[in-house]
Amino acid sequence: MSRVLVTGAASGLGAALTRAFRERGDQVLATDVADGADLHLDVTADDDWTAAREWVDEHWGGLDVLVNNAGVAGGGRIDVAGIDEWQWIVDVNLLGVVRGCRTFTPVFKRQGSGRIVNVASLAGLVHPAGMASYNAVKAGVVALTETLGHELAAYGVTAHVVCPSYFRTHLLSSLRGADEALRAVMTHLVESSPLTADQIASAVLAGIDAGDEVILPDPMARAAYGQKLRDRPAYDAQLRRQAARLHELGGSTAE
């Protein structure tokens, strides 16, 4: 039985991961900035992370798995999205994960064991037009996780990054931004996905158990990343076509 902390656990993938861990007998501290979790934890708030660590120390005396899942949707073409949108998504989707890792790495080092599971996105590996800020922060989470995997291996700590393609959740309710064309595209991609959060969660647990450092939990993610590695010209051509469709939707500059 593992002791697991999940962020962003009130909805979507975080809720599905919480269910999946609990179903196999693990103990889960479900945290979120929204109502519906066991503990209030805003991943952008240092004090909330300190309180989470105190809770874990007091009630469990340690932690086995940290799941940095909380995230928001953002994006927008480079001449449309404002710098305030960039700062917001960096703070939640990248620095939120950094804060979690910084909070619990001392615990894991002291124990000589622990697993860090960071939820990035396929967007951290393949980078569609119109989504620069989301792509960049998720690529940052991919890089952070690989770095920690190397840095902490000698302490018995493993790091895993999760890179799903689109699946149906409430993610788009968090979407901020001035780029309405991008909003239309992202909404369509999430709402038309055949994948559920429970399917992704089940594949994530299998990936962690298998020791996968990069978890591509669905066929579309595996195909898209595989194409980028195998056939870069075809990948570029496809993403240029997607960019052209975004342009057709209009509103290319903020002026």
Choose between 70 and 215: whose C-beta lies nearer to ligand NAD. Answer: 70
Choose between 42 and 179: whose C-beta lies nearer to ligand NAD. Answer: 42
User: Least distance to ligand NAD from the beta carbon of 151, Å?
Assistant: 22
Q: Do residues 88 and 138 touch, judged by C-beta distance below 8 A?
A: no
Q: Do residues 107 and 64 touch, judged by C-beta distance below 8 A?
A: no
Q: Which tokens belong to 224?
A: 């898209």
What DSSP string runs through 117-185? EEE--GGGTS--TT-HHHHHHHHHHHHHHHHHHHHHGGGTEEEEEE-----BSSGGGG---S-HHHHHH
User: Least distance to ligand NAD from the beta carbon of 132, Å?
Assistant: 15
Choose between 45 and 249: whose C-beta lies nearer to ligand NAD. Answer: 45
Choose between 223 and 254: whose C-beta lies nearer to ligand NAD. Answer: 223
User: Least distance to ligand NAD from the beta carbon of 29, Å?
Assistant: 13
Chain position whose Cβ is nearest to ligand NAD: 12
Amino acid code (one letter) for 223: A
Pairing of strands 65-68, 114-119: parallel
Choose between 130 and 164: whose C-beta lies nearer to ligand NAD. Answer: 164
Strand order in the sheet with 114-119: 39-40, 27-32, 3-6, 65-68, 114-119, 157-162, 214-215
User: Least distance to ligand NAD from the beta carbon of 106, Å?
Assistant: 21
Enumerate binding residues for ligand NAD (CB under 6 A).
7-8, 10-14, 32-34, 41-44, 69-72, 92, 96, 119, 121, 164, 166-167, 169-171, 174, 190, 197
Q: Has 134 been annotated as catalytic?
A: yes
Helix (H) or strand (E) holding 119: strand 114-119
User: Least distance to ligand NAD from the beta carbon of 138, Å?
Assistant: 7
From the candidates 134, 155, 225, 235, give the one annotated as an active-site residue: 134
- Quote the CA–CA distance of 22 and 79 in Å, as a whole number: 45
- Active site members: 134
